[in-house]
Structure 1
Amino acid sequence: MASRPLAALAPGLFEGRTVLVTGGTSGIGLATAEAFAGLGARVVAIGLGAARAEVSPGLDVELVEVDVTDDDALRAVVAGLDRLDVLVPAAGISLGERELEWEAFNTVVSIQLAAVYRIAELTRPLLAASGGSVITIASMFAYFGGGSRVAYSAAKGGVVQLTKSLAEAWAGDRIRVNCVAPGWIETPLADGLDARAKERILSRTPLARFGAASEIAAVIVFLASDAASFVTGAVLPVDGGYLTTAV
């Protein structure tokens, strides 16, 4: 396992740049916020549970309590930015079989898809000014769906198409838009899996382990960096090979 995937990147890679991460108070979002902060960026991480979020010592991450479905709150965050180079809309929720009910379905899609577009739309002028980058978060469920995660799967499929569409629509603004599609990652969203489910997952994963949030963050950093300057509209699975056997 690559225990320090970010060690391969140059220190100060994002010095002088500003990064906004939604869902940045836990899981992949928090790992992403820490990754950019460790590379010199000013990082604003918004989400629920900001007061409980624990940032690694020595890293400067501005945590802000925000519900991503609250339009006024999103506007206030964006108004407080004097520049923006990278947007990572990573807020996520999964309600399992409850997603077959309309209220739960609507909640999940609002957070996982509609809020992704809304924060992207609000930050577009800042991103255009800097020639910035958007990295969205899809999922392996965008490829094969899930009967127990109907809304989640639908929303993540929508994120993939939103990514490709915005990559074309905003190319004239010099904004690159790419997507990471994580597989099974050690995050709070995976905590509810029982031992049997985990065993099934590992048996279908060629690398035979769950990924770490830091490994997703490292790929997000790559896509935001100048190393990916000719990459836009791409969807990159980061799943230990799960998709090679799952479909």
Structure 2
Amino acid sequence: MTARDRLIVGLDIPTVQEAERIVSALGEDVLFYKIGYQLVFAGGLEFARELAQDGKKVFLDMKLLDIDNTIASGVENIVKMGMSMLTLHAYPKAMRAAVAAANGSDLCLLGVTVLTSMDQPDLAEAGYELDPRHLVLKRAAQARTAGMGGIVCSAEESAAVRAVVGPDMAIVTPGIRPAGSDKGDQKRVMTPGDAIRAGSSHLVVGRPIVRAEDPRAAARAILDEMNAVR
């Protein structure tokens, strides 16, 4: 894969009009976009369909979790939308239902391990006894067993996760911040080059690009950093 195949720009912005402006500004430099809750609830699903029809790749970040039949029905319809990636929380039953529903399609199902905004105190407050690293590795192994296409984790865990899932599964890492940029609400972050070296296959970059004075220049700088990794 080229850097262009591996960089996913997170369209975590409030309106489709803003998203259209960003996509237009980035032009052919960016192939892959992530659409999550904020944009989905502002008309983003139709926008996602349009992006896919225009030849872009779309990572639909819905973090699904429900009973098996509901998961399967949702995944079947998302396949029809032409999406490239879809997230689920990495619970074994949900993952198995999704894998069965997506069988035969090109949809890459991603298991969400531990959100990059969460650290040990956050997990303890939520009732988890494992620390973030051990919970990530447990869920990565469960995603592999379920037949998922990849997982989502912090770049800090990429190397350890790669050892668990092997060379073929995607490792998608949010919380990517170019050197010197603001961490925002992320607690476990890494630079683009370091994330690739650690074993990440795809990088999700949102605010450092979409909030930049020149989004295209910001994207190109990140692509250059990714291309420089050997």
Instruction: Give TM-score scaled by structure 1 length.
Output: 0.37
Instruction: Give TM-score scaled by structure 2 length.
Output: 0.39
